[in-house]
Amino acid sequence: MDLGLKDRVYVVTGATRGLGNAAARELVADGAKVVVTGRDEKTVAEAAAALGPDAVGVAADNADPRVAERLIAAAREHFGGFHGVLVSVGGPPPGFVADTTDEQWQAAFESVFLGAVRLARTAATELDEGGVIGFVLSGSVHEPIPGLTISNGLRPGLAGFAKSLADELGPRGIRVVGLLPGRIDTDRVRELDALSADPQATRTAAESRIPLRRYGAPQEFGRAAAFLLSPAASYLTGIMLPVDGGVRHGF
């Protein structure tokens, strides 16, 4: 199936590695052009180079209030258009309620929550009919994940924001979608597993609770993201798509 991605232009934040990078890779593979971001200039340049001539890298911190305008301007300057954004950021630091400080909450709120809101709000003013705004969230939108207190606090709020935005932008023909990754085999998930006394046992136990009995591959997440962002998903908006191997048992 042709997803209709050829020559469409997307901004993908947090795309130097992990889920953002997987999404950017699949978008480019299907003919899209992407502006990829990350905080470190060298790492961003390397990630863009690895994606090929249909990608350009911009060093950016989502917490910077001026970032949204700069990224959309880069999309128009380099590729002559702007059709959508996928907001992906690194997860907040792990920890239980008693372990997390006000400073950690504030930093995560600025980057994970408010940064995403700013990007989406600015994109909404710049997109035409057929545009799309996507958020990489987490299964914690529906069920808290032990040891990820800050993420558990922020991700559900972003999902609520995304749903509100979908209602507001729908009459203009602009879609808003969310992806809820489960245990995808990224550096971040391996780092979280490594916090336990026995990382392999932790992984084996987690896999036993997944109906497909394995962690997802990054490219599997990337394909789901590319589809949701594409014109092929033109009648899907306001949805939160679990990409979790069947872990979520609710409808």
For 126-150, the pLDDT digits (tens) are: 999 999 999 999 988 988 988 899 9
Separation CA 243–CA 12 (nearest Å): 18
232: Cα within 13 Å, side-chain hemisphere: 15
pLDDT-derived band at 90, boundaries 50, 70, 90: confident
Mean pLDDT lowest for which of 86-95, 119-128, 209-218?
Answer: 86-95
Higher pLDDT, 143 or 216: 216
User: Residues 138, 221: contact at Cβ < 8 Å?
Assistant: no
What does the pLDDT read at residue 250?
Answer: 78
Mean pLDDT of 7-23: 96
Nearest CA among 174, 197, 172, 192 for reference residue 182 = 192
User: Residues 207, 213: contact at Cβ < 8 Å?
Assistant: yes
Separation CA 137–CA 149 (nearest Å): 14
Cβ contacts of residue 20 below 8 Å, gap of 6+?
12, 13, 14, 36, 86, 88, 136
pLDDT-derived band at 1, boundaries 50, 70, 90: confident
User: Residues 223, 217: contact at Cβ < 8 Å?
Assistant: no
In degrees to the nearest 10, what's the CA dihedral of 24, 251, 209, 222?
-10
In tens, the pLDDT along 20-79 reads: 999 999 999 999 999 999 999 999 999 999 999 999 999 999 889 999 999 999 999 999
pLDDT-derived band at 163, boundaries 50, 70, 90: very high
Separation CA 180–CA 242 (nearest Å): 4
% of the chain beyond a pLDDT of 70 = 100
User: Residues 149, 93: contact at Cβ < 8 Å?
Assistant: no
In tens, the pLDDT along 220-245 reads: 999 999 999 999 999 999 999 999 99
Number of neighbours of residue 182 by Cβ within 10 angstroms: 22
Q: How does DSSP classify residue 184?
A: B
pLDDT-derived band at 211, boundaries 50, 70, 90: very high
Number of neighbours of residue 60 by Cβ within 10 angstroms: 25
% of the chain beyond a pLDDT of 90 = 83
- Is the pLDDT confidence value at 251 over 80? no
User: Residues 19, 184: contact at Cβ < 8 Å?
Assistant: yes
What does the pLDDT read at residue 195?
Answer: 85
**Which bin fits 213, alpha (ψ -120 to 50), beta or left (φ > 0)?**
left
Separation CA 13–CA 76 (nearest Å): 16
